[in-house]
């Protein structure tokens, strides 16, 4: 099974771009062995999808990458280091990078995994997705599903 | 002149932002505050003008951990406002979902958020090296909680199946039996986790402050999903109130140090959460859970707030055995998709359920077209802020009398806050990363 995973809060502006990309991808039709998983703000539950039966996993999340708002990168956990200052690990501070790090250290098999990080413009509570990110949802969905296929 | 200054901005391993400020000069406590600086999010405004079928979808987003509870309290309030009584099957499936959330959240809190305090680590990450078995077990149990909630709710966070009038989707009997097998198979893991809790329990700080304990309660079960509001006082006096009268219990008020409202009822403050449920509903706890309570050294009425984490461990056992029984009842009766119950009227209604952090209230008013005219949501963490403040006011002088230094005092106060497992607000979750080398793809 291959998983397209979205992380983020859809009521917090561009923080919710991950789940929105999943909706877009599902609306366009997915290959039979691809399952979309909206983890919302519970990134720690990513561990439920890390096992030998997982062929590949792509996480879509908002990410501060220093790009122009709306631009994105697709990277593997090994290619980056988190800069978030986390006093611990809570689901509210949930950071996919830290979850993968923790799972790997705890002996979980890490399947081929990549993260699509999309630069947010605004993550204020109670705001919708920014117009430029909204317009690019089809492109994000296409890139995400293509990369998932190649993992 | 001797001075003690404690300022902890953004207590870690709690959900959201809270600060601890203590100023002491020559043994005199000048300031001792639990501060909540989070900005209000105005969810009650967001639901205005929305159709009743949309309201729970919005209020579920109040919390990323208790989203099942917010969905259930919201839908129950809407159903009460609309004169809807759901079927026994819907009721039981919702109970099963409620147990999944409680299990999932408690596993997270006990093992990932609270355990580092008792094992002398700053966070869960160093524990991987020293207590790999504890961390791996926690992740396995967390996974079970996620699968359990996903089966019943469609997804664990912000479940989709619970809608006004019933359940929009139901699991098959085969899926329920597979879940049952997983729950039974997890019992040895639970026993191992409880052995860890029992081993660490003696390290839990000795501190007692009798207070009022408020939780849902009924005559049938532990009251996690439904019941009347019950207050238990330190002398054991109990009193029940209808959920519709929740404002008589919560009595919200504002204080300068907190953007979150405080509550109080019969005493200066009251506690909600696992310890409050345990103190209110011990008599209706399953025998398996009572055995665990005895083994880990907790009995009602427990007045040590640090023991909330231990009460959570007891509840985890209750969640598993209650759910096994619910699955057996559902499978025996036969599970089938049912038509949703239609509204019989449009008016005002309140709903309550227990979420991991305590009793949760929602209330809505609907016009004749089913459009929401107003809402009120009172979350358990807000009900606990006042109790935390009063705990601080008793604990700080005790710590000073014990000759504790600033670091020890700060840790004791942080641990106290964490024991309540507060969920101050949902923040955003974007990643913030730097590249070690060029990413494989960029647009």
Domain chopping of chain B, boundaries: 47-383
The dihedral through the CA atoms of B116, B119, B122, B126 has a sign that is negative
Write down the pLDDT at residue A83: 57
Task: Calculate how close chain A gets to B283, using CA atoms only, in Å.
Answer: 33
Which residues of B are less than 8 Å from A42 in CB distance? Answer: 64-65, 146, 156-157
Instruction: Please report, for residues B34, B114, B128, B158, B403, the alpha-carbon distance to residue B7 in angstroms, rounded to integers and kept in the order given.
Output: 10, 21, 29, 35, 18
Residue B205, preceding peptide bond in cis (omega within 30° of 0): no
* Cβ within 8 Å, pair B13-A139: no
CA-based nearest residue in chain A for residue B40: A125
To the nearest 10°, the Cα dihedral for B384, B160, B143, B105?
0
CA distance B63 to B47: 15
Torsional sign, CA A82, A84, A88, A89: negative
What is the C-alpha separation between B69 and B98, in angstroms, rounded? 7
pTM for this predicted structure: 0.90
Tell me which residues of chain A have a pLDDT lower than 50: 85-93
Give yes or no for a contact between A44 and A50, defined as CB atoms under 8 angstroms apart: no
pLDDT, position B11: 65
Question: Which contacts qualify for B178-182: CB closer than 8 Å, 24 or more apart?
Answer: B179/B147, B179/B148, B179/B151, B179/B327, B180/B324, B180/B327, B180/B328, B182/B144, B182/B147, B182/B148
**How far is the alpha carbon of B105 from chain A, nearest alpha carbon, in Å?**
10
With beta carbons under 8 A apart, name residues in chain B contacting A4. none
* The pLDDT value given to residue A86: 44
Calpha distance B272→B311 (Å, rounded): 12
Say how far apart CA B47 and CA B50 lie, in whole Å. 5
Give residue B428's pLDDT band: very low, low, confident or very high (50, 70, 90): very low
Task: Check CB contact under 8 Å for B429 and A62.
Answer: yes
Chain B residues with CB-CB distance to A101 below 8 A: 125
What is the model's pLDDT at position A9? 85
DSSP for B55-84, please give it: HHHHHGGG-SSSHHHHHHHHHHHHHHHTT-
* Distance, C-alpha B364 to centroid of its chain: 22
Cβ atoms of B399 and B2 within 8 Å: the answer is no
For residue A40, which residues of chain B lie inside 8 Å, CB to CB?
A: 64, 67, 155, 157-158
CATH number of B47-383: 1.10.645.10
Of B441 and B246, the structure prediction assigns the larger pLDDT to B246
Report yes or no: B304 and B415 within 8 Å, Cβ to Cβ. Answer: no
Provide CATH code, domain A2-150: 3.40.50.1450
Instruction: Answer whether B431 sits within 8 Å of A123, measured CB to CB.
Output: no
Take residue B104 and report the two structure tokens written for it: 């999932």
Q: How far apart, in whole angstroms, are the C-alpha atoms of residue B416 and residue B414?
A: 5
Nearest 10 degrees: Cα torsion B24, B25, B30, B34:
-10
- Burial environment of residue A147 by CB neighbours within 10 A (0 to 12, 13 to 18, 19 or more): middle
Nearest CA in chain B to A89: B13
Does residue B437 register a pLDDT over 50? no
Contacts of B393 by beta carbon, 8 Å cutoff, 6+ apart: B29, B32
Q: Which residues, including other chains, have CB under 8 Å from residue B437's CB and lie 6 or more apart?
A: A79
Q: Which residues of B touch A91 (CB under 8 A)?
A: 15, 64-65, 108
Segment (H or E) for B308: helix B308-333
**Within B109-229, where are the H helices?**
115-118, 127-130, 132-153, 173-185, 187-200
Output phi, psi for A65, to 5 deg: -115, -5
Cβ partners under 8 Å of residue B161, min gap 6: B93, B97, B152, B153, B154, B167, B168, B169, B170
Confidence of residue B435 (pLDDT cuts 50, 70, 90): low
Return the pLDDT at A92.
Answer: 42
Closest residue of chain A to B160, computed from CA coordinates: A38
Q: What is the dihedral of CA B381, B387, B390, B396, to 10 degrees?
A: -60
- Local structure of B99: helix, strand or coil: helix
Q: How much is the average pLDDT of B375-394?
A: 94
Are the beta carbons of B139 and A147 separated by less than 8 Å?
Answer: no
Contact assignment for B433 to A143 by CB distance below 8 Å: no
The sign of the dihedral angle between the CA atoms of A87, A90, A91, A95 is positive
Q: Are B278 and B285 in contact (CB under 8 A)?
A: yes
Smallest CA–CA distance from A38 into chain B, residue: B155
**Mutation site for A-interface testing, chosen from B57, B115, B149, B433 by largest number of A Cβ within 10 Å:** B433
Q: Which residues of B touch A14 (CB under 8 A)?
A: 430
Task: Tell me whether residues B65 and A91 touch, CB distance under 8 A.
Answer: yes
Please indicate whether, in this complex, the C-beta atoms of B431 and A9 are within 8 angstroms of each other: no
Residue given tokens 């006096």 in the structure block: B237
**pLDDT per residue as tens digits for the range B54-78:** 999 998 888 777 889 999 999 999 9
Q: Break chain A into its structural domains and give their ranges.
A: 2-150
Picking from B63, B66, B431 by the largest number of A CB atoms within 10 A of its own CB, the best residue to mutate is B431
> Is 50 exceeded by the pLDDT of residue B350?
yes
* Predicted pLDDT at A85: 47
**Cβ–Cβ under 8 Å, residues B380 and B358:** yes
Higher pLDDT, A45 or B164: B164
Please tell me the predicted confidence (pLDDT) of residue B402.
94
Percent of chain B residues past pLDDT 90, beyond the cut? 70
Whether residues B65 and A76 touch (CB distance < 8 A) is answered with no
| Per-residue pLDDT band at B443 (split at 50, 70, 90) | low
What is the ipTM score, two decimals? Answer: 0.79
- CB-CB neighbors (< 8 A) of A139 in chain B: 443
* Inter-CA distances, B116 with A72, B20, B85, B127, B128, Å: 36, 19, 44, 7, 11
Nearest chain B Cα distance for residue A77, angstroms: 10
CA A49 to chain centroid, in Å, comes to 13
Residue A12: closest C-alpha in chain B = B428
Task: Indicate if the pLDDT at residue B413 is higher than 50.
Answer: yes
Point out the residue among A80, A106, A139 whose CB comes nearest to the CB of B136: A106
**Does the beta-carbon distance from B10 to A45 stay under 8 Å?**
no
* B178 HSE (CA, 13 A, CB side): 10
pLDDT at residue B63, rounded to an integer:
77
As to burial, measured by CB atoms within 10 angstroms (0-12 exposed, 13-18 middle, 19+ buried), residue B106 is buried
To the nearest whole Å, the CA of A140 is away from the closest chain B CA by 10
- Tokens 């926690």 appear where? B138
Based on the number of CB atoms within 10 Å of its own CB, is B400 exposed (0-12), middle (13-18) or buried (19 or more)? middle
Question: B410 and B51 in contact (C-beta within 8 Å)?
Answer: no
For strands B166-167 and B162-163, give the pairing.
Answer: antiparallel
Q: Return the structure tokens found at A58.
A: 């792509």
Q: Which residues contact B191 (CB under 8 A, 6 or more apart)?
A: none
- Per the DSSP assignment, residues forming a β-bridge with B19 are B35
């Amino acid at each position: 099974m291959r998983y397209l995973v979205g992380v983020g809060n859809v009521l917090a502006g561009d923080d919710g771009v991950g789940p929105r990309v999943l909706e877009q991808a599902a609306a366009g039709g997915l290959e039979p062995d691809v399952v979309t998983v909206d983890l919302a703000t519970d990134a720690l539950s990513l561990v439920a999808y890390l096992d030998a039966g997982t062929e590949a996993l792509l996480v879509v999340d908002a990410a501060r990458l220093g790009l122009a708002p709306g631009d994105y990168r697709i990277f593997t956990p090994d290619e980056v280091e988190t800069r978030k200052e986390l006093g611990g690990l809570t689901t509210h501070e949930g950071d996919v990078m830290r979850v993968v790090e923790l799972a790997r250290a705890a002996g979980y098999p890490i399947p081929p995994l990549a993260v699509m990080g999309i630069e947010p413009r605004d993550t204020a509570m109670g705001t919708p997705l920014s117009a430029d990110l909204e317009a690019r949802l089809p492109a994000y969905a296409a890139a995400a599903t293509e990369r998932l296929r190649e993992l | 002149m001797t001075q003690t200054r404690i300022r902890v901005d953004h207590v870690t391993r709690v959900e959201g932002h809270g600060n601890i400020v203590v100023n002491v000069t020559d043994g005199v406590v000048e300031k001792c505050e639990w501060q909540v600086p989070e900005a209000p999010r105005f969810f009650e405004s967001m639901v205005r003008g929305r159709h009743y079928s949309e309201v729970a979808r919005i209020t579920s987003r109040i919390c990323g951990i208790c989203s099942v509870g917010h969905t259930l309290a919201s839908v129950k309030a809407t159903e009460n406002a609309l004169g809807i009584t759901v079927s026994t099957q819907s009721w039981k499936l919702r109970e099963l979902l409620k147990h999944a959330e409680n299990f999932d959240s408690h596993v997270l809190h006990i093992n990932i958020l609270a355990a580092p305090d008792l094992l002398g680590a700053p966070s869960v990450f160093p524990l991987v090296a020293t207590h790999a078995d504890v961390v791996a077990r926690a992740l396995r149990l967390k996974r079970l909680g996620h699968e359990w909630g996903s089966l019943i709710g469609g997804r664990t966070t912000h479940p989709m199946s619970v809608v006004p009038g019933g359940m929009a989707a139901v699991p098959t009997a085969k899926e329920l039996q597979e879940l049952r097998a997983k729950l039974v198979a997890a019992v040895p893991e639970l026993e191992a986790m409880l052995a860890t809790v029992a081993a660490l329990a003696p390290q839990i700080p000795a501190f007692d402050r009798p207070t009022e304990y408020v939780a849902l309660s009924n005559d049938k079960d532990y009251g996690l999903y439904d019941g009347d509001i019950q207050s238990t006082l330190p002398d054991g006096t109990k009193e029940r109130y209808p959920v519709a009268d929740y404002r008589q219990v919560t009595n919200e008020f504002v204080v300068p140090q907190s953007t979150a409202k405080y509550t109080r009822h019969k005493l200066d403050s009251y506690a909600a959460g696992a310890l409050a449920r345990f103190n209110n509903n011990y008599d209706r706890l399953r025998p398996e859970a009572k055995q665990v309570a005895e083994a880990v050294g907790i009995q009602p009425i427990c007045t040590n707030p640090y023991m909330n984490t231990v009460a959570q461990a007891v509840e985890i056992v209750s969640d598993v055995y209650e759910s096994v029984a619910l699955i057996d009842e559902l499978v025996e009766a036969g599970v089938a998709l049912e038509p949703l119950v239609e509204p019989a009227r449009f008016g005002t209604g309140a709903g309550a359920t227990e979420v991991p952090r305590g009793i949760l209230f929602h209330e809505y008013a609907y016009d004749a077209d089913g459009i929401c005219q107003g809402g009120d949501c009172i979350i358990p963490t807000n009900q606990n802020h006042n109790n935390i403040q009063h705990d601080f006011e008793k604990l700080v002088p005790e710590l000073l009398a014990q000759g504790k230094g600033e670091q020890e005092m700060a840790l004791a106060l942080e641990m106290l806050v964490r024991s309540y497992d507060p969920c101050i607000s949902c923040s955003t979750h974007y990643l913030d990363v730097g590249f070690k080398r060029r990413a494989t793809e960029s647009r």
